Amino acid sequence: MNKNLVEGKIAVVTGSGQGIGEAIARRLAEFGAKVIITDINREKGQATADALCAEGYEASFKYFNVTDFDNLKSEIEAMRDIYGRIDIWVNNAGLTGTLRVDEITIEHWDKMQTIDIKSVFFCTQAVYEIMKEQNYGKLVHISSMAGERGGRSSSCAYSSAKAAVLNMSKCFALSGGQYNITSNCVCPGRTLTAMAQGLSWLTDPKDDPKLTIPMCRFGTPDDIANAVLFLSSDLSSYITGDIIDVNGGLYMK
């Protein structure tokens, strides 16, 4: 296996203190990137960075709240200043909710939209400026299977925001091509993380993966990280505005 896929690249992963983001940060580091772990959970973010450094990888932690809209631009510029560039930006931080369509409140709707699409757009807009100046960039956005087919165990407010991420990614792909910037999405299916703990598919016998998922198992954070690695590397240099589904065949378009 070529362990130099993203050698020397500078990568930032939002919400990478745990779960899918942590696995993405680790996979990018394993394949040669210098990784900036960002999260609102200082303890977990620092622990992730410390663990990677202890294994000889180059990683650091920076506290970063993706919904701190007044400071996003300056915070992202400060991250750029650590190494002088940002080659790979992964929008991973997110929250889910489980309210049914007849239960959704305006407060819940706004909360999901704020973190799951508004923050993704404004983070991307700020990093896009940096990537334009570099004439190079890989934008990867973690959407969801729910964003493609509708939310069943996750709320419509969440799945609608994730659907918007798919469209937003295409807008940056359309604008970014001339600057050698690609923008792509990964849509995880049912993936075993802390976020999954509140979702019905984890415990409902009707959702037994051996009966419902062609690959007969739930996904792991590493499954998602492998797709992100590909979209972050120059192996995918002519792929933009696209989506990789990582759902074990549960949803096929």
Ligand X SMILES: NC(=O)c1ccc[n+]([C@@H]2O[C@H](COP(=O)([O-])OP(=O)(O)OC[C@H]3O[C@@H](n4cnc5c(N)ncnc54)[C@H](O)[C@@H]3O)[C@@H](O)[C@H]2O)c1
Detail the DSSP E strand segments found in the chain: 10-13, 34-39, 59-63, 88-91, 137-142, 181-188, 243-246
Q: Which is nearer to ligand X, 133 or 222 (CB)?
A: 222
Contact between 9 and 32 under an 8 Å Cβ cutoff? The reply is: yes
The minimum distance between CB 205 and ligand X, in angstroms, equals 18
Catalytic residue among 158, 179, 238, 251: 158
Q: How far apart are CA 147 and CA 187, in angstroms?
A: 8
The minimum distance between CB 161 and ligand X, in angstroms, equals 9
The minimum distance between CB 224 and ligand X, in angstroms, equals 7
Q: Which is nearer to ligand X, 53 or 192 (CB)?
A: 192
For ligand X, the binding residues (CB under 6 A) are: 14-15, 17-21, 39-41, 44, 65-67, 92-96, 115, 142, 144, 188, 190-191, 193-196
63 annotated active-site = no
Pair of tokens at residue 149: 């087919």
Adjacent-strand bridge partners of 59: 35
How many other CB atoms sit within 10 Å of the CB of residue 73?
Answer: 16
Instruction: Enumerate residues 6+ apart whose C-beta is below 8 A from 204.
Output: none
Contact between 177 and 185 under an 8 Å Cβ cutoff? The reply is: no
Q: How far apart are CA 65 and CA 40, in angstroms?
A: 5
Q: How far apart are CA 186 and CA 175, in angstroms?
A: 19
**Helix axis angle, 156-176 relative to 119-134, nearest 10°?**
20
Catalytic residues: 158
